Structure 1
């Protein structure tokens, strides 16, 4: 049976791709819009208006590049082109000022002419004289409503041939998002409604007007463009009209993904008008996706002997895609060292040559120190970062070459500018400006303050193995300070954590704690306090009330990171102590949305307001935990712990007193929400299976 549409495996990326055909009438002199509906297994985005993994293309756009981070996004003159026949990075060729003028593709293939005009619009001209206009009005620009000069994306709003024929595009804007509304073609003369031709494409519900009934449950709110963009609607219909009468229509229906909320394109139904004027509905094309049913199984495998896992990290040391074992040790007052046991590629064997990096501390060795492995320059290799208190003047970094010598001292160091001492126990890392580099988040040693304007706690990674003061302030303390009332211990956990809550690639802050002290009933009644601070990318965090994480009956104690109680009950002598709960953020089911682990329990988040308890089928003797602590029967979770290269989180047993017999627990599950089956209207079936590239031997 003949399949409808085109399925291909992308040769360069290995992605599964599928194009659903949309049949459009021909335009005058061959001038017609190019509208496509396509799927890509590696392009899943929660803000897609056609469902996860799908994309609707209606002509193209030109946007700013985000590779340098939010602070520079509107100060660079590099842009990205996305249109039929051409695409890539646009770089300046001949400018009339700092930004406007002629541009060219970094890798030229189409040989078009690209002009950024002084009225803030773009003009692209191809070799046949066709002119493509982008962002001629604010209606066809994605911009900051508080500052219209901050334009992130220019959408195609007109195509014109040398004879005067044109195609005109309309869009609908709401809350920073630009949606397709209509396309008019076979027009002639000035591009306006009076001159539009008889052919028209309408995109619903945007053409007729959206209502509350059109709002999607899995809306997104992102700040990755330097301003708030909220995506609230899905495409429901594509209508093709001739002289205001519908001649063909595509109805899109949606279902939910594994987390119970994510929008997934379930079917497309095509309806048309026959030559006799009859309405004909063709068989529906249906789509199916991988779904684990919130049940996750692990197979226990005996691993070969390895050193004890005390103070160890599971992370990819040599850049081959497999998590290795990294161990930290030292001789007091002499030197410290890290050595790595490399993964054999199956998640079961570790060994081979043990690469080692020795480092000494300049000056007096302090008791408090923080050593971490993280990718400082986005080369896929972990650098060794050693930070020491009471100041960072003796901090150092070791560069990872990936071959032979694993780490080598980098003589420029990685010293952080500072005006006061920092509390090393509070060092954390996250991407705060969206440039893909690990930034440093720290607190004041004396007052435990993370928010003082004099002690900006966030240092941005410069990309050259150093950090610079960003001027960013935290919206909340991560440890109670001396002035905190009613008398929390200085330095105790406030329940604040770093996580990308909304999935826009920027590190946000969540604070969740419970006060169990009851001395002041009006304030200390045990009610959980949960706050969400979204990173705007420009140095500010905004407290958000649309997201809800606590409301879930599945939790035994709620999503609480810290609990405070009175240790004495006299009003004059009251003191508090805080206990940090074994609760952490991680993407447990590999669906791209952060989840929660609470001890051995995993809760899958739908990205908005609901946590659902999942079933973990693993050895009954294994106790999972987030902290990575060791014990006699503890299976630890560490960073980047994909042991066998399938993209899923695996576990490795932590038995300090026993260097033999440690086991690996490898995931048996499939990545959620990937397209697996297409039932086309022609009666054909297309089945798709997936396998990690790392799991192919050749």
Structure 2
């Protein structure tokens, strides 16, 4: 009895420490009436998890999808809102090189240096080169599966096939709808699971809807219990229904944009004549803190929706985030940087998501301290051909690899650009028609491609806009009704479209707002009850 109480207490603390109150779930699950009760667990990483299995008609020879709705307190905002995901499907995606496996730390750049991961597990090439036609792989953690890449599309394979130790043959990306290209590129970013077949030729086929405009995809139908030898058609199916979501949040990888614009509304199971047998209905609310989608209930009904099992209701915490530092983040971290705070740049130089420190030593040498996340920094000297002080350097990600780069003007419209490799700088000269100083130049991403651009006012409402292409600038003049200097202008994404906008105060609570459409600005006046001036902390520094 004591062990059961301890387990329940641990689960409650894990959930309440993140976002979900487990006690509410326990109170709303009527196990005596539920055919699909959920299950709590605390994972190895400390995440609180909850799983709702989706019950399906059995397939021939056990060939049916194993689907579930999965919650993790460590998961982000996805197809089922924050924390939730659809389990039972999978895919192969591009992943970065690592020091342990490759001897170098890299990013995902949609080139031949990318590596591949199966459901998050790194694939290790054992015969052939990564991404090559006919290359054989194994998983980093041995699963006794044989994985082979086939064909070629851009800088990568066309599709993959996996032979499991259970005798199943799984295909990834062998149909057009299961190959998901990166936005604006021919390269494939995800090879989704498209087909499973067993040794008796029993087959399962997954169909997807591709949202090419947003570089995203969603499963729409799974047909199973067909047989490729006998010619028997699918006896059962699962379909997925979606609704538009209000909390669209674009993300970028190597300059490629993607966005999830829908959320899963229901899952339906179908019989041999496409008759709907059961429907799992999902209801959402929005967080009052940040507006993200959150599942409020899941209910299993029959095909008519007239007879339903009791809902599983979810109650979320709504308290404001706490402020302050907690161990081990707080305390003294040792560096070899003795410079004043004002001369130190805060940035992420190696793309690991941690904030690093950098200050100039003079003569092109920079003292760089990379945060380890464990109360310490790893410090060393990086050389660049930028001898300016930190105050005269712009910091931005010019090539969209997730690592902060730096640049400084050298005159005549030329800029000295140093791209971070994660362990040093690779420097060259880029030309723009912008001859301004760093102090009068704002850093932005005006076209939403994940690469940093430059904006400089040239007078009478005109701004010189230089858009980074990853290796050079393309400059043009954009008109606004903002005639202020860069120092008096806030750069911020006001409408959540991933593009940087401009705003400057007019007085009496009015703000001049110019929204970027990627090719120019559209300006209007917005009112705020806060009549404050531009804050001292700049968004672009």
1:96 deviates by 7.2
- How far, CA to CA, are the matches of 1:613 and 1:286 in structure 2? 38
2:321 matches 1:414: no
Query: What's 2:440 paired with?
Result: 493
Structure 2 CA distance for partners of 1:473 and 1:237, relative to 1, 3 Å: farther
- How far, CA to CA, are the matches of 2:255 and 2:169 in structure 1? 30
1:8 deviates by 2.2
Query: Which one of the candidate residues 368, 372, 378 is aligned to 2:345?
Result: 372
Gap runs ≥5 in structure 1 = 206-213, 300-314, 325-341, 344-353, 360-368, 482-489, 516-522, 551-559, 565-577, 588-592, 616-622, 629-636, 640-698
Query: What's 1:462 paired with?
Result: 421
Query: What's 2:127 paired with?
Result: 94
Query: What's 1:179 paired with?
Result: 218
Query: Which one of the candidate residues 236, 240, 264 is aligned to 2:294?
Result: 264
Query: What's 1:239 paired with?
Result: 268
1:72 deviates by 3.9
Query: Which one of the candidate residues 137, 143, 153 is aligned to 1:103?
Result: 137
CA contact (8 A) 2:409 2:438 kept: no
Query: Which one of the candidate residues 198, 205, 211 is aligned to 1:161?
Result: 198
CA contact (8 A) 2:202 2:225 kept: yes
2:219 matches 1:251: no
- How far, CA to CA, are the matches of 1:79 and 1:94 in structure 2? 15
CA contact (8 A) 2:268 2:278 kept: yes
1:428 deviates by 3.3
The superposition leaves residues 455-504 of structure 1 with CA deviations (integer Å, 9 ceiling, x where unpaired) of 363x222222x211377778x95xx63xxxxxxxx66625x2347997x9
- How far, CA to CA, are the matches of 1:39 and 1:408 in structure 2? 36
Structure 2 CA distance for partners of 1:217 and 1:397, relative to 1, 3 Å: same
- How far, CA to CA, are the matches of 2:292 and 2:44 in structure 1? 28
CA contact (8 A) 1:181 1:202 kept: yes
CA contact (8 A) 1:432 1:507 kept: yes
CA contact (8 A) 1:254 1:265 kept: yes
CA contact (8 A) 1:112 1:124 kept: yes
Q: Where do residues 306-317 of structure 1 align in structure 2 (5 Å cutoff)?
A: none
Query: What's 1:16 paired with?
Result: 48
- How far, CA to CA, are the matches of 2:528 and 2:351 in structure 1? 35
- How far, CA to CA, are the matches of 2:238 and 2:456 in structure 1? 48
- How far, CA to CA, are the matches of 2:311 and 2:444 in structure 1? 44
The superposition leaves residues 44-73 of structure 1 with CA deviations (integer Å, 9 ceiling, x where unpaired) of 13xx22112211134211111145656743
CA contact (8 A) 1:258 1:291 kept: yes
Structure 2 CA distance for partners of 1:512 and 1:233, relative to 1, 3 Å: farther
1:125 deviates by 0.8
Query: Which one of the candidate residues 64, 75, 91 is aligned to 1:32?
Result: 64
Q: Where do residues 565-584 of structure 1 align in structure 2 (5 Å cutoff)?
A: 578=485, 580-581=487-488
Structure 2 CA distance for partners of 1:25 and 1:322, relative to 1, 3 Å: same
Query: What's 1:696 paired with?
Result: none
- How far, CA to CA, are the matches of 2:225 and 2:379 in structure 1? 66
2:395 matches 1:429: yes
- How far, CA to CA, are the matches of 2:238 and 2:475 in structure 1? 39
- TM-score with structure 2 length normalisation? 0.69
* Structure number with higher relative contact order (C-alpha < 8 Å, ≥ 6 residues apart): 1
- How far, CA to CA, are the matches of 2:411 and 2:269 in structure 1? 67
The superposition leaves residues 364-390 of structure 1 with CA deviations (integer Å, 9 ceiling, x where unpaired) of xxxxx94435565578987653326xx
CA contact (8 A) 1:584 1:598 kept: no
CA contact (8 A) 1:27 1:185 kept: yes
1:204 deviates by 1.4
- How far, CA to CA, are the matches of 2:445 and 2:454 in structure 1? 7
Q: Where do residues 644-659 of structure 1 align in structure 2 (5 Å cutoff)?
A: none
1:225 deviates by 5.7
Query: SS where residue 425 of structure 1 aligns?
Result: helix
Query: What's 1:309 paired with?
Result: none
Structure 2 CA distance for partners of 1:111 and 1:469, relative to 1, 3 Å: same
CA contact (8 A) 1:70 1:433 kept: no
Query: SS where residue 315 of structure 2 aligns?
Result: strand
2:329 matches 1:322: yes
CA contact (8 A) 1:473 1:540 kept: yes
Q: Where do residues 659-674 of structure 1 align in structure 2 (5 Å cutoff)?
A: none
1:627 deviates by 3.6
CA RMSD of aligned residues (A): 5.1
Query: Which one of the candidate residues 351, 359, 366 is aligned to 1:386?
Result: 359
Query: What's 2:411 paired with?
Result: 446
- How far, CA to CA, are the matches of 1:171 and 1:138 in structure 2? 9
Structure 2 CA distance for partners of 1:538 and 1:134, relative to 1, 3 Å: farther
2:171 matches 1:133: yes
CA contact (8 A) 2:446 2:501 kept: no
2:367 matches 1:397: yes
2:242 matches 1:188: no
Structure 2 CA distance for partners of 1:126 and 1:151, relative to 1, 3 Å: same
- How far, CA to CA, are the matches of 2:162 and 2:376 in structure 1? 49
2:110 matches 1:73: yes
Query: SS where residue 91 of structure 1 aligns?
Result: strand
Gap runs ≥5 in structure 2 = 1-26, 32-36, 98-104, 153-157, 518-525
- How far, CA to CA, are the matches of 1:381 and 1:265 in structure 2? 30
- How far, CA to CA, are the matches of 1:491 and 1:508 in structure 2? 14
1:288 deviates by 3.0
- How far, CA to CA, are the matches of 1:248 and 1:608 in structure 2? 46
Query: SS where residue 256 of structure 2 aligns?
Result: coil
1:431 deviates by 4.2
- How far, CA to CA, are the matches of 2:252 and 2:353 in structure 1? 26
Deviates more, 1:230-239 or 1:165-174: 230-239
- How far, CA to CA, are the matches of 2:162 and 2:228 in structure 1? 19
CA contact (8 A) 1:164 1:188 kept: yes
